[in-house]
Amino acid sequence: MALNIGSGSLRNYQNNTNSLNNTAKKLSTGYQINSAADDAAGLAISQKMRTQITADQARYQNTQMEISAARTGDGALSSIQDTLDRMRNLAMQSSSGIYGDTERSMLQKEFSQLQSQIGSVFEGTNFNGKELLTNDLDIGGLSIASQDGAMSALEGLSSAIDAISSQRSDFGAQQNRAQYTADGLMTSMINTQDAESEIRDIDMALAAMDNTKKQILQQSSLFMMAQANQNVPTVMQFLR
C-alpha cells in the first residue's frame, strides 16, 4: 500500500522555492521582468521604449554638435566684428583733416594687418573638419592711406559690419532652434525612461517584503514535511 503523507507539503515547498528563487533574481537584477516568461507583453513594450531612448540619445548628441558648431561660428564672427570695429576707428582717424601722410601711413599699416587677420579667421574657422564661414566681405581693396580712401573705407566697413551682424543672427537662430530640439529630446528621454522603469524595474521595498514572506512560507513547508515524515511510523502502526 503506497503512503503519500507529505506529498502536498513537498509540492508546496517546491513551489515556494521556485517563487523564492524568482524573487531573489529580481532583487539581484533590479528588474521585475528579466525574461519573456516573466511578462512577454511588458518585455516587448520595454524593449520598444529602450529602442526609442537610444534613438533619441543619438539625435540629442547630433543636436549638441549642431549647437557647438553654431557657437563656434558665432564666436569667430564676433572676433571679426571686433576687428572691423577697430578698422572703422582707424578709418575715422585717417579721414580727419588733422592727420598727415606720415600718420596715415602708420594707420594703414595696422589697417592692413587687420585685413589679413580677418582673412585668416575666415579660412581657419571649422568644426569637425567642416568650414563654417564664407568670406563675402569686400574689404580687401580698402585703404586708409589717404583721406579720400578713408572716407570710402568707412562706407565699405559699415556694409561689412552689417553683413557680419546678419550672419551672426543666422547662427543665433540655428543655435536657438537646435537648443529647443535638444530640450524636447531630453524631456522625451526622461519621460520614456520613467515609463520604461515603471514597467520593467522592481520596487525594491515591496520585493524585499515579498522575499521575506516567501522565505517564511518555504520554512513552513519544510517544517510541514518534517512533521509528516515524523508521523509516518505512527500511521503505519494504525494501518497494520
For residues 104 and 124, give the distance between their C-alpha atoms in angstroms, rounded to a whole number.
30
Residue 200: the pLDDT is 75
Q: Which of 171, 145, 146, 80 is nearest to 117 (CA)?
A: 80
Residue 97: the pLDDT is 86
Residue 33: the pLDDT is 73
pLDDT tens column, 185-214 = 999 999 998 898 888 766 555 655 665 665
For residues 151 and 190, give the distance between their C-alpha atoms in angstroms, rounded to a whole number.
59
Print the SS3 string covering 198-213: HHHECCHHHHHHHHHH
Residue 39: the pLDDT is 80
Residue 86: the pLDDT is 97
Low-confidence ranges of the chain (pLDDT < 50): 1-5, 232, 234-236, 238-240
Cβ–Cβ < 8 Å for 50, 196: yes
Residue 7: the pLDDT is 57
Q: Which pTM value belongs to this model?
A: 0.69
